[in-house]
């Protein structure tokens, strides 16, 4: 699989509240693939096994995608989320 995610922006208030999230979209089907999401190189605990992930923090997000039928996995693809 060849996932694609792109850099994006979130909006955070001066008090640290996230006002606008950013959705990372691999452009792959949930029906055929498993998704493992990372933030700054660490697996995101309890991240949904989903082709899309909602970023609520600044950092470098990554995803590894595995084909359910072949077991083949992608390289980690990353995108930066900034304010």
Dump pLDDT digits (tens) for 47-70: 999 999 999 999 999 999 999 999
Alpha carbon distance 30, 40 (integer Å)? 24
Residue 20 in tokens: 């606008």
Q: Which residues contact 6 (CB under 8 A, 6 or more apart)?
A: 24, 79
How deeply is 41 buried, as exposed, middle or buried, from its count of CB atoms within 10 A (0-12, 13-18, 19+)?
exposed
pLDDT of residue 11: 97
Note whether 47 and 55 are within 8 A (CB). no
Q: Which residues of the chain have pLDDT under 50?
A: none
């Amino acid at each position: 699989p060849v996932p694609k995610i792109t850099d994006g922006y979130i909006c955070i208030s001066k008090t640290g509240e996230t006002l606008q999230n950013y959705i990372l979209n691999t452009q792959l089907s949930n029906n055929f693939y498993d998704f493992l999401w990372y933030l700054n190189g660490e697996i995101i605990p309890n991240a949904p096994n989903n082709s899309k992930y909602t970023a609520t923090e600044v950092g470098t997000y990554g995803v590894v995608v595995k084909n359910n039928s072949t077991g083949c996995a992608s390289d980690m693809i990353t995108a930066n989320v900034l304010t």
